[in-house]
Amino acid sequence: MSPRIEPTLEPASTQTLRVDPAHRVGRPPPPGPSAPPSRAPSVLSWIFGLLLACIVLALAAIVALRWLPPPISSYMLQSPTKPVQYLWVPSANIADTARRAVVAAEDQKFWTHQGFDLDAIHKAQQYNLNARHHRRGASTISQQTAKNLFLWPGGYVRKGIEAGLTVLIEKIWGKDRILEMYLNIAEFGPGIYGVEAASRNYFGKPASALTAEEAARLAAVLPNPRHWSVRAPGAYVQTRVAWILGQMGYGARDAPQEEPLPPPSESPGIDDDDSGDAAALTAPGVQQAQPAPVESPAVPAADPAPAGEPPAPVPAPDAPSPGADAAHDTAAPAAVPAEAPPPADKPPG
């Protein structure tokens, strides 16, 4: 007979079961690795992102405008005269006299500099240290194009952005496109933008038919087109016309060789940024207080008239009649010489 086996409570295996103290009843499991706390974007990151987006948009716009005409410019949007007159024309439909006139008047080193005329900047700084009635600007055609197309008048921040845009358009566009753009967006009168709109408004002809004298009259008012008049030029504007014609290779022998300065009575407290930013001298401050948007056709009696010019007429009322404008057009005829055939050599500048 075999022995009887009694039942037992011992496990069949001798392996000991171990219980993790962390998993005992009543004790929560240990926390896992915590995720880093989320941080809201800082102000600096927002500013950096905004600047980066502006740079990308500006670069894309400059690349597109290398071939496309702009539908509007920043200065047109800010114009106090509404609606503005603007008509784009390609360079082939602009008379060569217009190109030569604006280069002679605004930036005679345009074809040789890289966007900035350092000599003009240095001379303007030295001049403005002692200037009491008027200031000299030093912005090139490239800088004016960048400002008029994308920016606003005045301020050191604007000047810094303008410098960057100038470098870009010089590298991407080239000189011919910059000059074509400038002639199409420059302001030639209150609310009149572009040489085509100006030529049709003032002379009743397209820009392709401009004579040298007409082109010089348009270029003469570029430093301050809202206060100097193409249709009824004053004595100083007429002197500028004679100087521009001389720089182009036209005009009389007695044409001024140096750029004429505006009379002190016309130019106290000039703002260089608001008047065109050119290597030319800027616009009068006294006439800004007058209600008429064009310059007064009268010249103060205390100011001497340029050489070879008859005495200035008696000042007209604040709102001159059409007859007064016509009478002023005939005043000081010697300041604008008759047009002569162009010289064989390339004009200076």
For residue 285, being part of any structural domain is answered with: yes
Give the pLDDT score at 319: 39
Give the pLDDT score at 230: 95
For residue 222, being part of any structural domain is answered with: yes
For residue 192, being part of any structural domain is answered with: yes
Domain housing 112: 73-290+321-335
- CA atoms of 282 and 292, how far apart (whole Å): 19
- CA atoms of 209 and 212, how far apart (whole Å): 10
**Number of domains the chain contains:** 1
β-pair partners for 193: 86, 187
Give the pLDDT score at 39: 61
For residue 85, being part of any structural domain is answered with: yes
List of E strands, the chain: 85-86, 187-189, 192-193
For residue 270, being part of any structural domain is answered with: yes
For residue 145, being part of any structural domain is answered with: yes
Q: Which amino acid is at 293?
A: P
- CA atoms of 185 and 70, how far apart (whole Å): 9
Ramachandran assignment for 154, one of left (phi > 0), alpha (psi -120 to 50 degrees), beta (any other) = left
Helices 195-203 and 175-185, axial angle in degrees (round to 10): 40
Per the document, the length of the chain is 349
CB–CB of 227/294 below 8 Å? Answer: yes
Give the pLDDT score at 18: 63
Instruction: Enter the tokens of residue 9.
Output: 């409570």
pLDDT string in tens for the chain (349-residue length) = 566 666 666 655 555 556 556 555 556 666 666 666 656 568 888 888 888 998 899 999 999 999 999 999 999 999 999 999 999 999 999 999 999 999 999 999 999 999 998 888 888 777 777 756 566 677 899 999 999 999 988 888 898 999 999 999 999 999 999 999 999 999 999 999 999 999 999 999 999 999 999 999 999 999 999 999 999 999 999 999 999 999 998 866 667 778 887 776 555 333 444 433 433 333 333 233 333 333 433 333 334 344 334 444 434 434 344 443 433 343 333 444 444 444 444 444 3
For residue 129, being part of any structural domain is answered with: yes
The model's pTM: 0.66
For residue 349, being part of any structural domain is answered with: no
Which pairs from 316-320 meet CB under 8 Å and 24+ separation? 318/290, 318/291, 318/292, 319/291, 319/292, 320/292, 320/296
What CATH number has the domain bearing residue 176? 1.10.3810.10
